[in-house]
């Protein structure tokens, strides 16, 4: 009979970190483990429908058990999957014990963010995805996770990290630009933007096949943002040219 036991190849302990966020909460960043499948299911089912749509590019209500198992049993030679977990007081969550994993002392471990990449067949790039729980957004978790993914990809001998972002996901697109990713419209689907960056020497960042239409649209968004900022700083009567 074949041995179907899952073995973790090269569990990358270097990514294990304890972080204190701007809201004062302490969280743990670590590579995902096979026993996180229930946490993954709970995490996805608690995301808002809009956040699930942005992450999975469709309307799903949750992960099937097999999907959750697949997402938590990682071959770290080919993939990297990082999670951020927080300990939540069972009392503070109003007795809501739907799926949190008992961590002792009346606290449950909850997953609050997930970021991962899978190596592409070309051998030099990887495709990534990231999602942060709605009530944990704006605390810098995505920035931290993207930095870790870039580091992992570089150490794994990859040159490019690439992700597909829905064209109406303005928050993620701004984040991508802030993190040095180049954006271009997907050649086969105008509803998607490809975000891509080199993970090696970041000083020599190049934009492969940059789409001039996409660049113009992002530049327009930047000008709109600057106008709003001027309005906020100087009031509605300021010159907004
Ligand atoms: C897009 C997404 C990943 C961003 O996650 P996040 O953790 O909120 O992102 P960050 O906090 O790192 O950065 C977001 C903003 O918070 C700000 N920020 C970062 N650190 C901060 C801190 N310590 N205190 C306050 N604000 C901070 C950043 O400046 C950034 O501002 P910006 O929106 O003007 O760029 C999250 O909203 C999400 O999961 N969306 C749905 C899924 C998705 O779109 N996935 C992409 C498809 S793969």
The answer to whether 120 and 78 are in contact (CB under 8 A) is no
User: Which atom of ligand 1 lies closest to the CA of 143?
Assistant: 12
pLDDT given at position 210: 40
Strand 160-166 relative to strand 125-132, pairing: parallel
User: What is the whole-number distance in angstroms between the Cα of residue 8 and the centre of ligand 1?
Assistant: 30
Is any ligand 1 atom within 6 A of the Cβ of residue 100? no
Does the domain at residues 1-115 carry the CATH identifier 3.40.630.30?
A: yes
Q: Where are the beta strands (DSSP E) in 34-96?
A: 79-89
Euclidean distance between CA atoms 12 and 40, whole angstroms: 19
Residue-level pLDDT at 21? 94
Per-residue model confidence as pLDDT tens digits over 116-156: 999 999 999 999 999 999 999 999 999 999 999 999 999 99
Residues 63 and 49: their CA atoms lie apart, in Å, by: 13
Residue with CA closest to ligand 1 atom 30: 138
Using DSSP's 3-state secondary structure scheme, residue 80 falls into strand
pLDDT under 50 in the chain at which residues?
94-97, 203-215, 236, 238-241
Predicted local confidence at residue 197, as pLDDT? 95
| Res 8: pLDDT | 74
What is the model's pLDDT at position 230?
59
Residue to probe by mutation, ligand 1, list 60, 126, 139, most atoms within 8 Å of CB: 139
Determine the pLDDT at residue 200.
76
Q: Report which protein residue has its CA nearest ligand 1's atom 24.
A: 139
Minimal CA–CA distance to 171: which of 205, 209, 207, 131?
A: 131
Distance CA 128, CA 115 (A): 7
Q: 142 CB under 6 A from ligand 1?
A: yes
Question: Phi, psi (5° rounding) for residue 124?
Answer: -120, -5
Backbone angles phi and psi of 151, in degrees to 5: -60, -45
How far is residue 182's CA from residue 211's CA, in Å, rounded to a whole number?
10
pLDDT at 198: 94
Its pTM surpasses 0.85: no
Supply the residue whose CA is at minimum distance from atom 20 of ligand 1: 140
Residue 130, ligand 1, Cβ within 6 A = yes
Radius of gyration from C-alpha coordinates of the chain: 20
Angle at 160 between CA 156 and CA 162, to 5 degrees: 115
H or E element that contains 132:
strand 125-132
Mean pLDDT taken over the chain: 84
């Amino acid at each position: 009979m074949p041995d179907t036991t899952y073995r973790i190849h090269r569990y990358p302990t270097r990514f294990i970190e304890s972080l204190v966020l701007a809201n004062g909460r302490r969280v743990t960043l670590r590579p995902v483990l096979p026993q996180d499948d229930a946490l993954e299911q709970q995490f996805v089912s608690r995301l808002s429908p809009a956040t699930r749509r942005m992450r999975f590019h469709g309307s799903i209500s949750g992960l099937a058990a097999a999907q959750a198992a697949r997402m938590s049993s990682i071959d770290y030679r080919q993939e990297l999957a990082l999670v951020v977990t927080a300990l939540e007081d069972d009392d503070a969550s109003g007795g809501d014990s739907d799926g949190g994993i008992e961590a002792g002392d009346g606290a449950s471990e909850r997953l609050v963010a997930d970021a991962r990449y899978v190596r592409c067949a070309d051998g030099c790039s990887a495709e990534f995805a990231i999602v942060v729980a709605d009530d944990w957004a704006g605390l810098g978790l995505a920035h931290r996770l993207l930095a870790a993914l870039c580091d992992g990809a570089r150490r794994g001998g990859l040159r490019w990290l690439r992700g597909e972002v829905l064209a109406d996901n303005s928050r993620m697109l701004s984040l991508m630009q802030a993190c040095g990713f180049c954006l271009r419209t997907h050649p086969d689907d105008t509803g998607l933007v490809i975000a891509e960056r080199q993970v090696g020497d970041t000083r020599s960042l190049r934009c492969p096949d940059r789409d001039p239409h996409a660049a113009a649209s992002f530049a327009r968004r930047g000008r709109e943002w600057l106008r709003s900022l001027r309005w906020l700083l100087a009031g509605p009567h300021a010159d907004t040219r």
